[in-house]
A and B are shown apart, each in its own frame.
Chain A
Amino acid sequence: AQTVTQSQPEMSVQEAETVTLSCTYDTSESDYYLFWYKQPPSRQMILVIRQEAYKQQNATENRFSVNFQKAAKSFSLKISDSQLGDAAMYFCAYRSAPRDNAGNMLTFGGGTRLMVKP
């Protein structure tokens, strides 16, 4: 079974600064996807960024980028130019590559609460 670990329960960053959230995972599979989700108090899970394991290039989405180290099974999220609206819970998640037409479950880490100071 796959496991996802987020070792930072809370992180704090000054507005406009950069912060990195850590995530490690354990799997015996070679083909999978990794995600970072943002969960504000509204409880809606919002996809921040996605990485396919077969891609060597790190994914980027505007101010958000990842450092994907497949051999080390590490998947960190970097938020640049932090904004007050970035404050939320952030979850790292793993998903096996689909083998048929069915979707696959997400395995989540325990989350990191990000606080942004004005």
Chain B
Amino acid sequence: EAGVAQSPRYKIIEKRQSVAFWCNPISGHATLYWYQQILGQGPKLLIQFQNNGVVDDSQLPKDRFSAERLKGVDSTLKIQPAKLEDSAVYLCASSYRSGGYTFGSGTRLTVV
């Protein structure tokens, strides 16, 4: 079984620039999650999709973050404009109903 694919692996941008991350979940996994993990902390949910619909985006800073999951498969998370405090690892995960999660390797974002 192929894992959750994420790209890029690393990204360095200047503040106020924009950036996008991509995630391709496990085939057949209807639920997709984006987590933000700030250095030294546990991951925090940003947004959860069920197929191509949003289940929970209560923790997503909607003034600068956006996410979409067209066709219920892969997903893109965008930040525009980036702030210094957005420096973090962005983890994507997918799950099938009540099954276990599979995480991607994450994208490490550094905003300078």
CB distance B45 to A106 under 8 Å? Answer: yes
- Which of B42, B91, B100 has a CB less than 8 Å from the CB of A109? B42
CB distance B42 to A105 under 8 Å? Answer: no
Give the residue name and chain of the B residue nearest to A99 (CB): B98
Contact flag A97-B56 (CB < 8 Å), given A44-B103, A102-B30, A108-B44: no
CB distance B96 to A103 under 8 Å? Answer: yes
Q: Quick check: is A55 within 8 A (CB to CB) of the other chain?
A: no
Give the residue name and chain of the A residue nearest to B50 (CB): A102
Q: Quick check: is A78 within 8 A (CB to CB) of the other chain?
A: no
| Of listed B42, B98, B105, residue having the most chain A CB within 10 A | B42
CB distance B45 to A101 under 8 Å? Answer: no
Q: Which residues of B contact A50 (CB under 8 A)?
A: 100
Q: Which residues of B contact A42 (CB under 8 A)?
A: 105
| Of listed A4, A102, A108, A111, residue having the most chain B CB within 10 A | A102
Interface residues of A, CB < 8 Å — how many? 21
Give bound CA distance, A105 to B48, whole Å: 7
26 contacts between A and B (CB under 8 A): A4-B42, A43-B108, A44-B105, A44-B106, A45-B91, A45-B101, A91-B42, A101-B97, A102-B30, A102-B31, A102-B50, A102-B55, A103-B31, A103-B33, A103-B96, A103-B98, A103-B99, A103-B101, A105-B45, A105-B48, A106-B43, A106-B101, A108-B42, A108-B43, A110-B42, A111-B42
Inter-chain contact total with CB atoms closer than 8 Å: 64
Give bound CA distance, A105 to B97, whole Å: 12
Give bound CA distance, A107 to B58, whole Å: 14
Give bound CA distance, A110 to B42, whole Å: 5
Given contacts A43-B108, A106-B101, list 19 more A-B pairs with CB under 8 A: A43-B91, A43-B106, A44-B103, A45-B43, A45-B93, A91-B42, A91-B43, A98-B97, A102-B30, A102-B55, A103-B30, A103-B33, A103-B95, A103-B97, A103-B101, A105-B48, A107-B45, A109-B42, A111-B40
